[in-house]
Structure 1
Amino acid sequence: MDTDTSFLDVWNDVVSVQSAPPSYLVLATALAGLAVVAFTPAWRLARNVVTIAHEGGHALVALLSGRQLSGIRLHSDTSGVTVSRGKPTGIGMVLTVFAGYVAPSLIGFTGAFLLTNGRITALLWMTIVLLALMLVMIRNIYGVLSVVGTGALVFGVSWYTPDEVQAAFAYAFVWFLLFAGVRPVFELQRQRAGGRAPQSDPDQLARLTRTPATLWVGLFLLVNIAALLLGGRWLAF
Structure 2
Amino acid sequence: MDSPASLWSAFSAAFTQTNVPTVTWVEMLLSLAAAVALSIPRRSWRYFGLLATATHELGHAFAAVTSGQRLAGIRLRLDHSGTTTTYSRSRLAAAWSCFWGYPVPAMVGAAFVWCGLNGWGPAAMATSALVLAASLLFLRNVAGFAITAAAIAGTASLAFLAPGSVVGHVSVVLGLALLVAGVRDLLKLTNVHLRRRDRLGSSDAYLLYRATSVPSGIWIALFTLIVTGAWIVAWQPISMILLKGA
Task: Tell me if both proteins adopt one fold, taking TM over 0.5 as the criterion.
Answer: yes
1:59 aligned to 50, 61, 65, which one? 61
Please identify, of 151-160 and 197-206, the stretch whose mean Cα deviation from structure 2 is larger: 151-160
Equivalent-residue separation in structure 2 for 1:134 and 1:119 (angstroms): 23
Extract unaligned runs of 5+ from structure 2. Answer: 241-246
Q: CA RMSD of the aligned region, Å?
A: 1.9
Distance change >3 Å, CA 211–CA 9, structure 1 → 2: closer
Cα distance per residue 1:67-97 (max 9 Å; x no partner)? 000000001111000000112512x112101
Cα distance, 1:217 vs. partner? 1.4
Residue 144 of structure 2 aligns with which residue? 143
Residue 243 of structure 2 aligns with which residue? none
TM-score (norm 2): 0.88
Distance change >3 Å, CA 117–CA 88, structure 1 → 2: same
Query: Aligned residues, how many?
Result: 235
Cα distance, 1:190 vs. partner? 1.5
Cα distance per residue 1:79-135 (max 9 Å; x no partner)? 000000112512x11210110001101111222332343211111101101110111
Extract unaligned runs of 5+ from structure 1. Answer: none
Cα contact 1:73–1:80 (8 A) shared by 2:
yes
Residue 106 of structure 2 aligns with which residue? 105
Matched to 2:163, the amino acid is P
Equivalences for 1:171-182 in 2 at 5 Å? Answer: 171-182=172-183
Cα contact 1:21–1:167 (8 A) shared by 2:
no
| Partner-residue secondary structure (3-state), 2:20 | coil
Residue 165 of structure 1 aligns with which residue? 166
Equivalences for 1:1-237 in 2 at 5 Å? Answer: 5-23=6-24, 24-87=26-89, 89-90=91-92, 92-192=93-193, 193-199=195-201, 200-237=203-240
Distance change >3 Å, CA 105–CA 161, structure 1 → 2: same
TM-score (norm 1): 0.91
Equivalent-residue separation in structure 1 for 2:159 and 2:2 (angstroms): 13
Equivalent-residue separation in structure 1 for 2:74 and 2:10 (angstroms): 34
Cα distance per residue 1:205-235 (max 9 Å; x no partner)? 1122212112211221221122112212234
| Partner-residue secondary structure (3-state), 2:85 | strand
Cα distance per residue 1:22-57 (max 9 Å; x no partner)? 223333212211222221221122110110000000
Q: Which runs of 4+ in 1 moved over 3 A?
A: 2-6
Matched to 2:62, the amino acid is L
Matched to 1:230, the amino acid is V
